Amino acid sequence: MEENNQIEQPTTELDVERAHVAEQQRVRGSKRTNGRHGHALASILGPAFVAAVAYVDPGNVAANITSGARYGYLLVWVLVLANAMSVLIQYQSAKLGIVTGKSLPELLGERLSDAGRFMFFMQAEVIAIATDLAEVIGGAIALNLLFGLPLFVGGLVIGAISTVLLWFQGGKTHRLFEKIVIALLLVITFGFIFGLFIAPPNPADVLGGLIPHFTATDSVLMATSMLGATVMPHAIYLHSTLVNDHYGPGEKKPSVRQLLHGSKIDVAWALLLAGSVNVVLLIIAANSLYGMKGTDSIEGAQHAIVSVLGPVVGTIFSIGLLASSLSSTSVGTYAGSEIMHGLLRIKAPMWACRVVTLVPALIVLWFAPNPTQALVVGQVILSIGIPFAIIPLMRYTHDRKLMGEYVDGTAKHVIFIAVAALIVALNVLLIALTLLGKA
């Protein structure tokens, strides 16, 4: 923290010289650390894989399968484009945290008035609840498919297990938390990709899906939904925290340049994995479920997979869905805790944050006749929250006083503006179409 501030705002020539010497000392120190502890890059990797869990949550699973079952390979290019935008945004979040030593919620909390901080927190908390809604419902459905548990009981089980996972977050056990989440991410990957080996698609058809085109108005609406819902607000807030929580108290960090270099690799590999899972889900649906009815819900998709690919693939799919729910709901609660800490400067117990986001999901599971429909409302709420995360991130990474020598250049800032404008515009369109009953 102190080292970053020295680089960040030098005011005299002496300060500049001291900062330069300190940077050289950090580089030499990190090289010595490499000799003792092996390759420094290995110690940097991890935060992006935790953030990437947000991109393979049950809501994305349902959307990708629905897209493939309805339109075949038509919208493969949409997922590829969406993933490319995600790489940029998640790296920017990591960069902000590395250079400043603070999270995006912390920086917002320092710059907003008391009333502004409270209002910002309230919208972010609503977003956290909407996020957890999809994740808990997805896990409850997975437990129902695997073991026949009632949905409400399944929601309680998901809440209990995710709370246990959160005990490992922070302090000396944080690396263990990262490893558990990454292990679940690998289970998700295997659970959703397995069907690809049972019924391999035609490569030519897949390549055809990489050519941007549409067939009808409803396919445009689906593409809008997929692109607009790509970026998860809580993943943006959290990634700027994860890069600093990755190192325990008193643990020596690599230099800022090394951290930024390692973060690029971390983000690229993590989002490549998450993006591949999403594309594979669409391809499986396009190859095996195209034209089938009832695939617009998670249960319907699983039953269709069982009928076409067999019960083994269906069971493995359900296990992947369960891992998706457990990992994403844990990460979502972690994000909610950090948002509260940064904006309100309150460090609430993790179990309390877990209860706040879990109770609404349990209420939906108890009272709603078809909980899957609640995912539509949740997606609209998520769309409303995206500008609140992405616009401040865009501004802060272009603030020279805040970022110092690591500030975004003009070209990168223009690209970021274009990406942010596209995502915000698509989400506004998605909200409008949903309210009009056309989405």
Burial of 155 (0-12, 13-18, 19+ CB in 10 A): buried
d(CA 362, CA 393): 33
CATH superfamily of this structure's domain 51-435: Amino acid/polyamine transporter I (1.20.1740.10)
> What pLDDT, on a 0 to 100 scale, did the predictor assign at position 69?
92
Amino acid residing at 130: A
pTM: 0.86
Residues 247-259: what's their mean pLDDT? 86
pLDDT at position 183 over 90: yes
pLDDT band at 379 (very low <50, low <70, confident <90, very high): low
- Are 46 and 40 in contact, with CB atoms under 8 Å apart? no
d(CA 233, CA 386): 5
Residues 106-113: what's their mean pLDDT? 95
Amino acid residing at 223: A
Residue in 14, 50, 325 with CA at minimum distance from that of residue 175: 50
The pLDDT > 90 percentage for the chain reads 55
Q: What is the DSSP letter of 407?
A: P
**Weakest mean pLDDT among 239-243, 349-353, 416-420:** 349-353
Q: What angle do CA 261, 266, 269 make, to 5 degrees?
A: 125
Residue in 183, 185, 181, 182 with CA at minimum distance from that of residue 162: 181
Q: How far is CA 202 from CA 45, 177, 415, in A?
A: 35, 39, 35
- Are 175 and 42 in contact, with CB atoms under 8 Å apart? no
**Weakest mean pLDDT among 35-44, 228-237, 376-385:** 35-44
The pLDDT > 70 percentage for the chain reads 87
> What pLDDT, on a 0 to 100 scale, did the predictor assign at position 376?
63
> What pLDDT, on a 0 to 100 scale, did the predictor assign at position 125?
86
pLDDT at position 283 over 80: yes
pLDDT at position 286 over 80: yes
> What pLDDT, on a 0 to 100 scale, did the predictor assign at position 416?
96
What is the average pLDDT score of the chain?
85
d(CA 138, CA 155): 9
R_g of the chain computed on alpha carbons: 22
> What pLDDT, on a 0 to 100 scale, did the predictor assign at position 431?
75
> What pLDDT, on a 0 to 100 scale, did the predictor assign at position 89?
95
Looking from the CA of 274 toward its CB, the CA atoms found within 13 Å total 32
